[in-house]
């Protein structure tokens, strides 16, 4: 089981920001902004590269829910959503996740 599947299963503790039947949001263990939340589907999808017509409904739901998660976390002045996909993007956990970063003015550069 991958590390995020273990977090979903409760085998690894996490500080949850949102949860329902299909998805989980929790605070990143190594925050890179004052608010740094990871949003993941409960279904194990390896990365953006593995999104297809069979599993994209959860991706749509995640994006429908991100504004609510950001607001509940206290972000009031904008945020960035990032998904690292593959080696060149430094994806370290091979379970699809979207970083929500906010709580301060973020860097103008993204790469």
Question: What residues line the site for ligand 5GP (CB under 6 A)?
Answer: 3, 12, 14, 26-30, 38, 84, 90-93
3-state secondary structure the chain: CCHHHHHHHCCCCCCEEEECCCEEEEECCCCCCCEEEEEEECCCCCCHHHCCCCCHHHHHHHHHHHHHHHHHCCCCCCEEEECCCCHHHCCCCCCCCEEEEECCCCCCCCC
- Among 36, 44, 95, 97, which one carries the catalytic annotation? 97
Nearer to ligand 5GP, 5 or 12 (CB): 12
Question: Is residue 4 part of the contact set for Zn ion (CB under 5 A)?
Answer: yes
> Binding residue for Zn ion (CB under 5 A) from 27, 44, 65, 93?
44
- Residue 98 contacts which entry, Zn ion, ligand 5GP, none (Cβ below 5-8 A, type-dependent): none
- Residue 79 contacts which entry, ligand 5GP, Zn ion, none (Cβ below 5-8 A, type-dependent): none
Active site residues: 97
């Amino acid at each position: 089981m991958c590390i995020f599947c273990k977090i979903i299963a409760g085998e690894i503790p996490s500080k949850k920001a949102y949860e329902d039947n299909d998805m989980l949001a929790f605070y990143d263990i190594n925050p890179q902004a004052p608010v740094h939340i990871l949003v993941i589907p409960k279904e194990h999808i390896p990365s953006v590269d593995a999104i297809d017509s069979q599993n994209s409904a959860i991706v749509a739901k995640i994006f429908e829910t991100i504004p609510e998660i950001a607001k509940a976390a206290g972000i009031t002045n904008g945020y960035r959503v990032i998904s690292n996909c593959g080696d060149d993007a430094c994806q370290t956990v091979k379970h699809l996740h979207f970083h929500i970063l906010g709580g301060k003015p973020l860097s103008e550069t993204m790469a």
